[in-house]
Structure formats: structure tokens, C-alpha cells
Structure 1
């Protein structure tokens, strides 16, 4: 055979291998798409789609078993809202291929062990939930699930481990019971009672010293503020009283009971929680936020009670949607409004309550603050007939309860509300709040309105805000921002340093550099020289220079920043790193812009970024006795 024919045969072989690889990739992509999209809107019923998909996957298990296992295990964790769909699919595959079900169990067990070891608690919780629901599909035996539960609850008996560790494991068990509680009740009632008794003993003895620091309101009226584990325990007790029957979880495996009940079951391998390590991180506790009850909702679907398991399931699903799409407000808003079973609940009320829960989450918000404001605006756009009214009702309820609101939450409320108003031309039923103008000037409602108007002014301008609100709100509108230049020749010509200030103005206007400015400042004597001959800095020079430079740049932020950048060497020379000298700079800024807090904040931030002043100095100045009048503003 000649070389040309050999080359041609080699080309055919390469093309054939590429074609096989391409075909395999296309099939894997198709399988992934089919598995990921099962349960989405379709002309066929969910049951028929699951049956068809199970047949397709069974035929491809021989060649693509690894890929199918990987996809199913990822879906179990990343799509918790479709847990029952995927457990049904696994149950159908297990009924047809017992070995495949065993390999899937081994894979999920490994993932659970890795999640526990890596402190990936949400992943671990979703896997435990998946295991629980696989009991309903006859993939896992009830005994092995109960053993897993008890191994998790053993953490409550550990010595020298933090409470938050045992809380995390107990929460994983409790949060999975809505899926499997009925099955355990029917087949293992005594064992279930023993399990619940163990949890009850732990719930009663655990410390709650942290709760006060996580409460949005100091008062429990009108809604008790419960810590998350206490609330979930109360919801599980209510579910137990209802004979473990809930109305929210879709259970497609019921349609295949005749097939699934004949399948052989697997056992979860023994899993022991890894020992506590000082470097381990656990879920931070939180207090469940409650804003609405059924009396706040108009005629229509009834809002589930605070201790109904449906309330927990719906809220968790909504929180998951926000977590998944919080960076894409339009997608997130659409996903929230397309919530399944939305016809059975007052969806707008529950969405607003969940978003407010995220906004007021303590000690810190989970996502950036702008996320919540932009998401609520998008919801108002997509649902203009109902969402603005529900949001307005929420604001009124928050305003009514503002007297006992946590200060951090009050600040977030102010910031969000001002931002929201700025997107709706600052229109609000201000007349309903006129009564606040008659209250003591230190009352939280008056403080709230004053802070909102101050924030609104930053997002607009003072005259615009003054025209929007009633005349009675004049006491809340911030004074007109003015630059109070201490060394103005028309008002302060008798002050020491006035002549030097004018000389500096001349130098800077003539485009002089730092050297010329320092030379002009040499004419000023140190006012503390007679008291302390060893004073390392001249406070008069610092005050005159700071006020003069920022007065010349008072037209805009950019002018001020440019002046600081150009004469940064003057600041460094005059201050020399001394904290007392830095305090002189801060006092000079405050005197110059006492009626323009935003300018003060921006200038101090600029000086911090240039290392002209230090953070510790700013903190000491803010909390000094000379600033006590600002503490309650």
C-alpha cells in the first residue's frame, strides 16, 4: 500500500473518532437538558414526562451511566424546589435497575460526607432532604434514614462543642421531616416519637442569649419574634398535630406507587458527623421576620399561619429564588411572580415579607443593599395592579412599629425608602404622617422622616423635596447646604489667619504649587507655642489651609478632590502623622460644611483613601464629647 492510501485511511480514522466524540457529547448534552428541564411547563403531564424520561435514561445507562449519575446528583443539590421530581425519577430508575440505584446512593453518600467535612451545610441539608424523600419512593429503607437522623442528633450530646454546631445538625433533621413525616408516622411511629422527644429535650435546654441581638423589634407585639430553630420546631409540632399532612409539597411518586413499592430498597451507609474543629464555620442563627398576618390580606387566598409548615416551605422557596437570582433583578422578579401554586396563597404579601426579611437580616444583610430596592421596583413594574399597594401597606406597618425597631434596621429602612421614593418622583401619602411633626423632636417617627428627607435630598435637591412634602414638615427638612468659610474677609476679617487665607487663595488661583502655599503659611505663628514649646505641628496653619483649600473647591465634589490631590504634600508636611493634627483637619472640615453632611462624609473618605488621616482618628473624633450633639441626629 502506498503512502497516499495510508494517509487517506489515517484521515478517515481521525474523522471517525471525532465524529464519535461529537455524537457522544451531543447525547450527553441532550441528557443533561432533559434531566434539568423535567418538571417545567409542558403540554404533557408531569407523570408522563417522568415515565418517558426514565425510559430514555434506562436505555442510555449502559453507555452514559457516569454522566447520568453526575447530573442527577447535581440536580438534587442545586434544584431543591424539584426534590420530589428527582426522587421520583431515581425511584423509577431504581425499580428498573437496582444496581444503578445503589451506585446513586453511594455517590450521594460521598457527597454528604464531603459536605459535612467541608462545612457546606446547605448542600448537606438538601442531601438529607433528598434521602428523606427517597424513602417515599422506596429507594431507601426507613430504618437507615432513622439511623442517619440519630447520628446527626448525637451532636447534641457532645461536650466542648458550640451550640451552633448541634443547631445546624438538628435543623437539617427538622427541615427534612415535612417530606417524610407521614411515611415515618405510618410505618415507624414509635421510632419517630423517640426522635421528636430527643429534639424536644434539646430545644428546651439550648441557650437563647443571642436572640435579643438579632431581633428587628424589641417588642413581640403584634408578632412574636422567634429564633429560626424554635419557629421550625413549632411548625413541626403543628404538622404533627395535623397528622403530618401538608398542602404544599407536590408528590408525583404517588402516581407510580404500584411500580415503586415492588422495588428493592437500599440502606444509607453509616455516616458519623466529623468532629468539631475550631476552624469550622456554621450557619449564623437568625430570627424569623414577621410583618403580615391573615388580617392584613384582603379577600382571596388566606395567608398561612406563622406556625404552619406551609409558611416555612413557601418562605424557604422564595429565599432560594432570591439567592439564585439576586444579581439579576429582572429574572429574579419574574421567578418570584411565577411561583408555583401562586393561586393558593397571597403571593405578593409573602414576597414583600421575604424581601423585607432579607433587608432587615441581622447582623448584616446577605446581599448588597441596592439588590432589595431594585428588586422591589422591578416587582412593582411587573405587577403594577397589586405590588405597589402591598408595598405601601408594608411601609405603613413598619412606620407604625418604628418605635421599637432595631437602630440598624431603622437605618436600612430609611435608606431603602428614600431610594424607592426617588424612583417614583418622591410621591407618598405624606399627609398621613403629619402627626409626627407634633411629637418630641427625639421621637423615632420624627427621626425617621427627617433621615428619609435627608437621604432624598442627596438623591435630588433640597427645593424639590421641600415642594413635595407638606409645610408642617419644614421642621424635618435639612437646612440649605452652605459653605461656612471661617476666614471670609467680609465676615471674619478680625480672625487670626484671615490675611494668610487670602494670600493662599491668591497663590492657588495663580496656579501656584505646594511650595508656594507652604511659604505663605509660614507667616502664621503656632497658637500653642507659648503653652507648649515642643508642639510638633502648627494647628493654625492646618486650620487655615484646610478651610481655604476646601472653600476654593466648594463648587463640586470633583473640585474638592482635585484640590486635595494637588496639595496632598502640604497636608503631609503640616500633619506629620500626628493624631492631634489630624483632629484639627476634621474639625476644620466640620466647621466649613456643618450643614452638608454628605460633603463631610465624602471629604473624610477621600482623606482616608490618601492616608492623610487614619481611621482610628476619625472614630475617636466621632465619639468625642464635642460631637455629642450629632449622636441623635
Structure 2
């Protein structure tokens, strides 16, 4: 269905255009502002094409509003002149700019508006390209990219490139999703989110020129929120929200509402204030008298396809905050969550983090320069009325680059003007609530780190980003980081008390980050400030935080170095022994010392498996009166300990020994009891180096010497209960589960390739045509399916085993507390940790557990099971 010319005017989208918008996708092949493949299209670094694309990319970098004003006009003239020569490059670069530099969308919208005044053909082409990009993103389920394209349409509306009614029609196209029968909550939430998040940028224009239609759109959204509240109640959404909140329990520092509810409240407040958002820069307003003369262009109808597997924006998601309710005057608590400005700032920070995940330096650069993308006064102590430098901005800081006159016509106009004249007449914005940029960045990055059940990227990225920010913004940032630690996890300030009400997984992630952070700054910290923590219960979250941080830092350095950085008072939380082996037969007085010495000598000399087995048999004969089971355990302990001792120098050493004597190891571990015993032997040998312990168990799982059930069974043995709050226990458990899940995924992928041989990489699969080929393929499929059934069954057994062990462990404790008259089990720190980790396991592996949830309920859930445990299973 096409819109009528009297509504929109101009040209329509070409549905066959293959140009794509990334919007944060394909990050692994991106250069600054351009994808890797696109950058390769440039002939030379000093070519006219390179200079033109660079001009567009750096437009607005560290520029005052006055500098932006002057340089937009210059570049608009260049684009108008050179477009015919470089049409594909211009369209591609502008697309990359609004998809990968969303903090500067307002600049590019105004630029296109000025170009459209004299060259409506260019404006039409850009509108068509933007429409193609938006539809492509909708087709792929690339919702962040869709938001970027929609935001660019908003700025094109401001610049009079498309009509306000056209923009409202685009919104209406997207919101038709809400009219679908039985629409999925996550699907509707995502669409409403991208509409509301872009509305503040264009609301003034919509209010002034199409108020009735705007009100109609808002009424539709309002009806959705009313029905959404009922829908969330029906599906237990409040339980889901509670399961992913960083803070738990009572006496929370703030109301943990989901982000979409907060955004809707902010939009309603903005509406009551006349849609005036004072932090937004509006360069297009300086050209109203010019832009009003331009042509507008129409846009085809957009269709939102169903994406059952790509909608990852499943809400509700709670808003995480750090700097709230503080008494310290050095912290500016100006983050008013009722103000749409707070959302817009955090949203663009989130976009920058998402787009530049591949490059923390670029990410830091754009985060640091955010004050230049908002009105003066938006941020405390950030003056953007003067440019960062009065020198001209050069491409990659090179000297003047001249373009030969016979190559093009824009000659020396390629430079962006940051001259003093452009600094004159700075605009003063009154009535803006000032924000502390560093605080919002901290909150947003920590919200990523604490995102449950999983952060978007690997934790190392967020760790490295905070380190880069500290180094780049060294004058103001480290004190804020210090406040974040002190107030959230340490012994001073109101937020220190939050540790006891934080999700256990968030505590774990935080001490992992803190240890990494210390490793980047010489392990320097004022430990004395935390001395009072030493008086607390050994299982108190504050004590565990310090203990686990110290143990993690040893992995980043070495034992003596870390020990020398902490006061003696903290030695009680420091490992008593440095990372080392615990070889049972090292003592010359041990009755098997000679046997162990002889066995290690044979292993070192690389004697064959048969000779090693014969030696073990001889050792067994030396205990004729020992029961068979104990004899087997003695031989197994001797052999495994000697293998580990010989390979203790490095991982390559131990892997070589394991591979060489794998047959002997497997013969000694043929029963579940034997495999559990081997796990205990490894754990005792590496009791002073839990990092090596985890790695060795992982390798033995790879070689099928032990299995996942044996590792899980060991973790739930009585002797392991004392380590309930130690990282290594839960790291081993998760690594074991991940290993099993990974096997299922690998076999499932192989099955898919056998079923669809043409779907292999590049579509160059085997063409199965002959009967013989079909027979071979059928046999291979049968084998793969049997393997898939086996690994899927193992996955089910492992997760069921964990659920059973957790339920049994927690239920036993609850009965003990009941007999002792303890009414609040969460006040017992051991239970607090165990219960929290049970919740984390069920939350993280919900996709796998959901495939056999009925079976789990049948086996695990009993009529008398405590409701507290049932709540975790219900999540």
C-alpha cells in the first residue's frame, strides 16, 4: 500500500535495493564509522573518496553548536557538488553515520535537509535508502538498527525532508503490531520501546503540525500499557522481573521498575511540559526560513515481520542505579528518572557501548565527548561553548592534504572549520537539569555488568572499558569509580549496605571486575578503610568480597606480590599457602613413597601403557589383605596423583601425560564411583590452586576420564559445603554445565549439516544425487541422531541432578532452621549464598530446563516442598 502524493510527495522506496544497515551488527568488521569491507573500497588514503567520507564521519566531533552551524553549510555545498560523482559513496557513508554514530544523528538530519533544499533528488535518494535500511532491520529483527533508522527519520522530519504526517504514518505502521491477535509481550514491548525512544527528538514538530494524529498514536500506546499490566500479571511477569533484579529483598534503595514503564512515565511528563526537551541540540532550527522552501518525500508502508528467535529485547528489564539516596555532597544526585533527559543520555551511552564493543578506545572517545552532542549546561562542569582546540581538524591528524584540481571540484574545502570566528555567539540554555557524565557512564556500564541472566558481551569488555575510561578521563573519573566501589561494596556510605540485598551473581561479577580493575592499577587500594569488615561473619558478603578479590588478584600476579600490598590485618582473608601441589606421597615416610617414586620414573621415561598397568597390578598385590574396593581406590589414587605430579609444571605437560596414558586412566574410571573418586583426588591434589583445579577437571571431561555427573556429585558432597561462598565452586559447576550444553549444540549443528548439506558455508555443500550417496548420508544421519539423543539425555540428567541436589540441600537446611526456631532462613548467610546460586543456575539455564520442565516438576517437586524453593523453580 502506497501513501498518496498529497500526504508525502516525492519518490518511493525501491524494494530491491540490497544496501544494508548494520546498527551495531557486524561489529567485528568495522573501522571508525565504516565497515571493513566498505573501507576496502577506498582507493587510497588520500583519495577524494576517502576525504569526502572522512568529512562526513568527523562532522560534529568536539564542535560547539556554532562550529557545527558553519561546517554543516560547507559540507552541504560539497555534497551537492560532488554527489553525481560519488553517489554510492555518499549514500553508504550517510547510512553508516546514522547507524554507527547515533549521537550525531541530529547533525546528519540537518545536513540532509540543507542538501535537499537545492538538490531534492539527493534528499529523495537518502530517504529511499533510509527506508530500505529500516525495513531491512525490521526483517532481520535488528531492533537497535531499526531504532537508529527511525531516529534519523525523526531528524529528517525536523529538517523538513519528510512531513510530520509521514513520520506519524511510520510510527503507525510499526504500532500495527499491537493490533495483532495474541501478540507476544516481548514483540509488542520492543516495538513500543523503539517508538517511544525516538519520539522526543521529533515531538515538537509533530505537536505543531499534526497534533491530533500524535494524540491518536499516544492513545494507542496508552491502551497497550493498560493491557500490558494485565498481561504481565497473567504470565507472572512480576516474578520474572524479580528474578532479574540486581537488588533483592526488602529496604531497597529505589523502586526497581522495568525500563519500559519508566520510559512511558517520562514520555507522559514530557507531554505535560509541552514536548520541550532542553538538552537536545536543534541545528535545524537555525535554518527554518531555508528548510521551509524544500520538497518533502514519501515513504512506503513498513511491515514488521514475526521473529520468534531474534527478539532479544525481552522486557521487563529493571533499571539499575548506583548514585541514588547518597548523603555525600561530592556526589551529585541529579539523575531524575522522571525526566526524559535521563533516559536519552543513558540510551545513547548504551548505544555507544553496543556499537563500539569491538574497540574500547573508540568507545571511550565517544563517551568522553558526549557533552558536545547535547545542549550547553546538560552536564556539570562540561563547557562545550568553546571547542577543544582552535586548530583545524585534520584527517587522522595529518598535515594539509591537497586534492588536485583535475581530480575534483571541492578542492581545499574538505577541511572542517574550527576557527575562532565559529566560536562567537555561544548559546546559553537555561532551565536544564545538569547531570554528572561520569556518574551516568558508571551506572550504565555497571548495569551492563549486572544484567541478568547474562550481559550482552563478555565481562572482559566492560572491565577493559572501565579501565580505558579511567585512563582517558583520569582527572575526574577514578574518584567516581572509587565512590562506586566504596558505596556499593565497601565499608563506608549508604550503598555499602546494599551488598546484603544484591543478587548473588551480581556480587560474584563485581569482585571479578574489582580484581581485574586492581590488576590494571598496580593493585593499589586503601585496604585500611575496610578493616572493620574483618569483624563480620566469615560468610558475610563483604568479607567474601574481599577474600575472593584477593584470591582473584593472585591469578593476575603472584602470591608474594599481592600479600605485600595488603595490611597484616587482612592476612586472615588471604590464602594461607601459595598456589602449589599437594602430593600425597611426597613424604619419604609414606608407605607408598617408593611405589610412587618408581611409578613417576616409569611415566617420565614414557613406558608403554601395558608396563604401567603391570606395575600397578604389582602394587595391588602388595596389599593381599586389603578389600578389593579399597585396593582399587589405592591404585587409582596412586596413579592419578603421580600423573598430576609429573604434569604439574604446566598444562602442556599434564595434557601430554594424560594423552599418553589415557587408556590406563579410562580403565581405572569405568564406574560412577570411580569417576567421583578421581574428581576428589584431583581436588585434593590442587587444593591450593583452585584455578588449576578447574582447568584440570575441564580437561579430564574432554578426555572422558570423568563425566559431568561425577563433578556435580563432588560439588554437593558434605565436605564441600564449607566452600559454599567461594568462586571456584560455582565456576566449576557452570563450566561443567556449559561443556555439556556445548556438546549438544555441536552435535545439533552437525545434524543440521547432514540434513541440509547444501547449507554449509558459502552454500558449497555436497550435492547428494546418487543412491550410494543417499545411503551413506542416511547412515551418517542415523549415527548423528543417536549421538544427539545421547548428549541431550546427558544434558537433561546433569541439570536434573543439579536441581535435585539443590532442592535436597536447601530443604534439609530449612527443616534444620525450623527445628531451631529460625523463621527467616535468608538471615542465615550459608542459606543466602546457596539459595542465590540455585536461583542463578535456574535463571541462566532456563532455555535448557524448559525442554524438560514437566519431568523436573514430577521428579523434584514434592507435595511438602517448601514454597521458597518452589518460587525458584517457578522463575
Verify: 1:267 aligned to 2:267, yes or no: no
Q: Does structure 2 retain, via aligned residues, the 8 Å contact 1:456–1:465? A: yes
- Bigger mean CA deviation after superposition, 468-477 or 360-369: 468-477
Q: Deviations along 1:489-532, whole A, 9 cap, x unmatched? A: 55643xxx666434423433555443332111013549999999
Q: How many residues align?
A: 605
Partner secondary structure for residue 452 of structure 1: helix
Q: Which has the higher contact order (CA 8 A, sep 6+)?
A: 2
- 1:217 is matched with which residue? 247
Aligned positions of 1:56-455 closer than 5 A: 56-206=78-228, 207=232, 208-209=237-238, 210-219=240-249, 221-274=252-305, 276-285=306-315, 286-293=317-324, 303-341=334-372, 343=382, 345-399=435-489, 400=496, 401-455=498-552
Rounded to whole Å, the distance in 2 between the matches of 1:56 and 1:381 is 38
- Identify if the C-alpha distance between structure 1 residues 527 and 215 changes in structure 2 by more than 3 Å, giving closer, same or farther: farther
- 1:3 is matched with which residue? none
Rounded to whole Å, the distance in 2 between the matches of 1:102 and 1:229 is 34
Q: Deviations along 1:30-52, whole A, 9 cap, x unmatched? A: 43233223223569732222222
- Identify if the C-alpha distance between structure 1 residues 511 and 178 changes in structure 2 by more than 3 Å, giving closer, same or farther: same
- 1:36 is matched with which residue? 57
- Identify if the C-alpha distance between structure 1 residues 76 and 529 changes in structure 2 by more than 3 Å, giving closer, same or farther: farther
Rounded to whole Å, the distance in 1 between the matches of 2:197 and 2:123 is 24
- 1:544 is matched with which residue? 638
Aligned positions of 1:385-534 closer than 5 A: 385-399=475-489, 400=496, 401-481=498-578, 483-488=581-586, 490=588, 492-493=590-591, 500-508=595-603, 512-525=607-620
Rounded to whole Å, the distance in 2 between the matches of 1:348 and 1:277 is 37
Rounded to whole Å, the distance in 2 between the matches of 1:63 and 1:334 is 33
Higher-Rg structure is 1
Rounded to whole Å, the distance in 2 between the matches of 1:346 and 1:203 is 32
Rounded to whole Å, the distance in 1 between the matches of 2:360 and 2:621 is 57
Shift of 1:83: 1.1
- Identify if the C-alpha distance between structure 1 residues 628 and 126 changes in structure 2 by more than 3 Å, giving closer, same or farther: same
- 1:610 is matched with which residue? 703
Q: Does structure 2 retain, via aligned residues, the 8 Å contact 1:248–1:313? A: no
Rounded to whole Å, the distance in 1 between the matches of 2:618 and 2:682 is 22
User: Which residue among 598, 602, 618 is the counterpart of 2:691?
Assistant: 598
5+ long unaligned stretches in structure 2:
1-41, 373-378, 383-433, 490-495, 727-875
Rounded to whole Å, the distance in 2 between the matches of 1:151 and 1:297 is 48
Q: Does structure 1 retain, via aligned residues, the 8 Å contact 2:160–2:296? A: yes
- Identify if the C-alpha distance between structure 1 residues 334 and 67 changes in structure 2 by more than 3 Å, giving closer, same or farther: closer
Rounded to whole Å, the distance in 1 between the matches of 2:506 and 2:182 is 34
- Identify if the C-alpha distance between structure 1 residues 527 and 406 changes in structure 2 by more than 3 Å, giving closer, same or farther: farther
Q: Does structure 1 retain, via aligned residues, the 8 Å contact 2:186–2:311? A: no
- 2:753 is matched with which residue? none
Rounded to whole Å, the distance in 1 between the matches of 2:50 and 2:654 is 57
Rounded to whole Å, the distance in 2 between the matches of 1:65 and 1:422 is 50
| TM-score, scaled relative to structure 2 | 0.64
Q: Deviations along 1:560-601, whole A, 9 cap, x unmatched? A: 44433443332133335x443322210111222333322311
Rounded to whole Å, the distance in 1 between the matches of 2:438 and 2:587 is 61
- Identify if the C-alpha distance between structure 1 residues 252 and 277 changes in structure 2 by more than 3 Å, giving closer, same or farther: closer
Shift of 1:101: 2.6
Partner secondary structure for residue 191 of structure 2: helix
Rounded to whole Å, the distance in 2 between the matches of 1:290 and 1:42 is 31
- Identify if the C-alpha distance between structure 1 residues 329 and 491 changes in structure 2 by more than 3 Å, giving closer, same or farther: farther
Q: Does structure 2 retain, via aligned residues, the 8 Å contact 1:77–1:123? A: yes
Rounded to whole Å, the distance in 2 between the matches of 1:74 and 1:530 is 79
Partner secondary structure for residue 252 of structure 2: coil
Shift of 1:290: 0.8
Rounded to whole Å, the distance in 1 between the matches of 2:477 and 2:59 is 31
Rounded to whole Å, the distance in 2 between the matches of 1:357 and 1:420 is 17
Shift of 1:546: 0.7
5+ long unaligned stretches in structure 1:
1-20
Rounded to whole Å, the distance in 1 between the matches of 2:669 and 2:690 is 24
Rounded to whole Å, the distance in 1 between the matches of 2:522 and 2:56 is 47
Q: Does structure 1 retain, via aligned residues, the 8 Å contact 2:324–2:333? A: no
Shift of 1:255: 0.8
Rounded to whole Å, the distance in 1 between the matches of 2:97 and 2:471 is 32
- Identify if the C-alpha distance between structure 1 residues 241 and 302 changes in structure 2 by more than 3 Å, giving closer, same or farther: farther
| TM-score, scaled relative to structure 1 | 0.86
Shift of 1:296: 6.7
Shift of 1:173: 0.6
Q: Does structure 2 retain, via aligned residues, the 8 Å contact 1:304–1:310? A: no
Rounded to whole Å, the distance in 2 between the matches of 1:372 and 1:526 is 58
Partner secondary structure for residue 711 of structure 2: helix
Shift of 1:92: 1.7
Shift of 1:415: 0.9
- Identify if the C-alpha distance between structure 1 residues 110 and 460 changes in structure 2 by more than 3 Å, giving closer, same or farther: closer
- Identify if the C-alpha distance between structure 1 residues 73 and 373 changes in structure 2 by more than 3 Å, giving closer, same or farther: closer
Q: Does structure 1 retain, via aligned residues, the 8 Å contact 2:323–2:331? A: no
Rounded to whole Å, the distance in 1 between the matches of 2:67 and 2:546 is 53
Rounded to whole Å, the distance in 1 between the matches of 2:436 and 2:98 is 28
Q: Does structure 1 retain, via aligned residues, the 8 Å contact 2:577–2:688? A: yes
Partner secondary structure for residue 640 of structure 2: helix
- 2:661 is matched with which residue? 567
Shift of 1:155: 1.5
Shift of 1:606: 2.6
Partner secondary structure for residue 45 of structure 1: helix
Q: Does structure 2 retain, via aligned residues, the 8 Å contact 1:294–1:304? A: no
- Identify if the C-alpha distance between structure 1 residues 133 and 402 changes in structure 2 by more than 3 Å, giving closer, same or farther: same
Shift of 1:328: 3.3
Q: Deviations along 1:134-162, whole A, 9 cap, x unmatched? A: 22112222222222222222222323442
- Identify if the C-alpha distance between structure 1 residues 374 and 187 changes in structure 2 by more than 3 Å, giving closer, same or farther: same
- Identify if the C-alpha distance between structure 1 residues 39 and 296 changes in structure 2 by more than 3 Å, giving closer, same or farther: farther
- Bigger mean CA deviation after superposition, 524-533 or 558-567: 524-533
- 1:10 is matched with which residue? none
Rounded to whole Å, the distance in 1 between the matches of 2:303 and 2:74 is 38
- Bigger mean CA deviation after superposition, 81-90 or 317-326: 317-326
Q: Does structure 2 retain, via aligned residues, the 8 Å contact 1:165–1:282? A: no
